[in-house]
Amino acid sequence: MAAEIRLFPCLTDNFGALIHDPATRATASIDAPEAGPIVKALEHEGWQLTDILITHHHHDHVGGVAALKQKYNCRVVAPHDKSTKIANV
C-alpha cells in the first residue's frame, strides 16, 4: 500500500504535513508548527500520531512538539546537531 499524505494550513503562513502508512498505521508529522491543526487533521482521518520528524529548530517548525508529545506520547526525531536546541526531543 502507498503512504497517504495530508497537507493543511498551520500558523498564518505555513502548512503542516502528515504521512500515514496504512499497513503499519504509523503516522508522522513533518515538523510541528502548532498542535491544534495537527490534532484536527489526525482526528479527521482517524489516525494516531506515532512520530514527529523535525527538520530544524525554528519556532514555526517546533511550536507544537510539547503538546503533541504529551497528547500522543509519540517519538520525536531531530537532526543530532540541533536536538539540544529543541525542547522535548
What CATH number does residue 77 fall under? 3.60.15.10
Q: What is the mean pLDDT of the chain?
A: 90
pLDDT value at 47 more than 80: yes
Query: Is 53 inside any structural domain?
Result: yes
- Cβ neighbours, 10 Å, residue 72: 19
Query: Is 50 inside any structural domain?
Result: yes
Confidence of residue 37 (pLDDT cuts 50, 70, 90): very high
Stated as kind and residue range, the H or E segment containing 87 is none
pLDDT on residue 81 = 67
Query: Is 89 inside any structural domain?
Result: no
Q: Which amino acid is at 38?
A: I
Encode pLDDT of 54-63 as tens digits. Answer: 988 788 889 9
Cα 26 from Cα 49, distance rounded (Å): 7
pLDDT value at 38 more than 90: yes
Query: Is 25 inside any structural domain?
Result: yes
Query: Is 88 inside any structural domain?
Result: no
pTM greater than the 0.95 cutoff:
no
Cα 10 from Cα 7, distance rounded (Å): 9
- Considering its fold, how many domains does the chain have in total? 1
Measured on CA atoms in the order 81, 7, 29, 3, is the torsion positive or negative? negative
Domain containing 21: what range? 4-83
The DSSP line for 27-50 is EEEES-S-HHHHHHHHHHHT----
